[in-house]
Amino acid sequence: MPAIPRFQAPLSFAEMREAWLANQHGAHEPWPEFARQFTRYLGTPYAVPTPSGRAGLAALLYAFDFPPGSEVIVPALTFHSVPAAVTQAGLRPRFVDIDPSTCCLDPAGLEAAVNPSTRAVIATHLYGRACDMERIARLAAEHGWKVIEDCAQSCGGGYRGRRLGSLGDAAYFSFGPTKNLSALWAGMITADSEPLIRRAAEWLSRLPRISTMALARRAIFALGMRGATQSLIWRGLMFPALKLFARFKIDPIEALTEETPQAEPGSDRPAYWMPGPFQGAVAQSQLAKLDHENGLRIRNGKLLRQLLEGTPGLQIPAAAPEGENIFMSFPVHVADRDRFRRRLLHLGVDTASGYMSACHTLPQYQPQAAAAPCALEAIPRMVHLPVYPALTSEQIEWIAQAVRTALTQ
């Protein structure tokens, strides 16, 4: 029986070493060079590095300079840091339900959310799947909203022949340790307006540069994640430990990898550190292989979808037009998530429940659970199956067989 990890961290020791050497001997500053490469890759005129995706959103909200108390439309199913960044900018998140077939923002709900105080909509391309940007852009144009693309889980994805991140007024990217382009928790913002990107860069310029010690801790953590998923360690140590913890409904990997920002002293605001040159060199290395890695994700996602289509008791992602889903993950919905995950684990397949929240139900946002029933229903039923580039076709077939077995046991 195979022992298949839920993910494989994209950064290896060899790649970090090569990036370090390139940084030491390179003729250009890594981040400006990466920004130039990134803008060419996306087809956008301006890009600026950030400490993280959340910091990128914060910088953009500062740059747009919306009136205090303005509403920003946010998908009800999203990472908790998105509405948190909105409120910390003095704005109010307004939650709109998702399309259950894609997990992305539902344009029909967006139409119902029209409000005179709305200034922007955050279009989250969730799990690598492109939003319906045509309808979102049309509604935004009708009402004078700004469109901010959340590309934290969709770097390299597309929509109707264009790269995600080049379709709205601005976009932000996350290069965290489990993302398909990883640069040790850095990020990037893009925009088509020079004054906007200049204001965002002004906000970012006030942040301190990451220390050598903090960067070393991040590198060690990333290498530890990579090492833990190597066959010998995973099979001999990690897999038995996960089975043991599963008996107590504990997921140690999710506890260790949740991206909770460190708070500033005496404040509930996150502490941001601008990325250093080494991270820029890593980002360049990662960008060079991004399309190849995304192609493998798409191959695996399509095969897994084909093998699981029509399986009783299982809801799988709806088919997307070519190139509009890069399968950062493969979310399925089942009736009993915890039982299903435990069964898969005993069949040799590790899975994740994900970090997304039905944010509209959190106390600080004045819960209106009935306003987003699809997001509320999705959270307790969602399981993320492995679909990362290193998986072979044979492993994908094993995952599909294990899913069918787990549903019938």
pLDDT digits (tens, 9 = 90+) for 83-100: 999 999 999 999 999 999
What is residue 363's predicted lDDT score, i.e. its pLDDT? 72
Q: Would the pLDDT of 355 be above 80?
A: no
Q: Would the pLDDT of 388 be above 60?
A: yes
What is residue 195's predicted lDDT score, i.e. its pLDDT? 98
What is the rounded distance in angstroms from the CA atom of residue 166 to the CA atom of residue 169?
8
The answer to whether the beta carbons of residues 196 and 169 sit under 8 Å apart is yes
What is residue 269's predicted lDDT score, i.e. its pLDDT? 65
Q: Would the pLDDT of 258 be above 80?
A: no
Q: What pLDDT band is residue 260 in, cutting at 50, 70 and 90?
A: low
Report the residue count for the chain: 409
Extract the tokens encoding 282. 């890593």
Average pLDDT over residues 255-259: 72
What is residue 357's predicted lDDT score, i.e. its pLDDT? 64
The answer to whether the beta carbons of residues 207 and 274 sit under 8 Å apart is yes
| Digit-coded pLDDT (tens) for 203-215 | 999 999 999 999 9
Average pLDDT over residues 377-395: 95
| Digit-coded pLDDT (tens) for 119-174 | 999 999 999 999 999 999 999 999 999 999 999 999 999 999 999 999 999 999 99
Lowest mean per-residue pLDDT among 59-68, 300-309, 353-362, 388-397? 353-362
Which residues are within 8 A (CB) of 4 and not within 5 positions of it... i.e. 6 or more apart?
348, 349, 350, 386, 391, 395, 398, 399
Residue 256 sits at the vertex; the CA angle it makes with 154 and 346, to the nearest 5 degrees, is 90
For residues 163 and 264, the model is more confident at 163
What is residue 367's predicted lDDT score, i.e. its pLDDT? 66
Average pLDDT over residues 15-35: 84
What's the first-to-final CA gap in the chain, in angstroms?
A: 17
What CATH number was assigned to the domain covering residues 224-408? 3.90.1150.10
Does the domain spanning 25-204 belong to CATH 3.40.640.10?
yes
| Digit-coded pLDDT (tens) for 173-203 | 999 988 999 999 999 999 999 999 999 999 9
Domain-wise residue ranges, the chain: 25-204, 224-408
What is residue 268's predicted lDDT score, i.e. its pLDDT? 58
Q: Would the pLDDT of 17 be above 80?
A: yes
In this prediction the pTM is: 0.94
Inter-CA distances, 29 with 68, 181, 186, 216, 314, Å: 37, 19, 16, 20, 49
What is residue 257's predicted lDDT score, i.e. its pLDDT? 74
Which residues are within 8 A (CB) of 394 and not within 5 positions of it... i.e. 6 or more apart?
none
Q: Would the pLDDT of 267 be above 70?
A: no
| Digit-coded pLDDT (tens) for 280-327 | 999 999 999 999 999 999 999 999 999 999 999 999 999 999 989 999
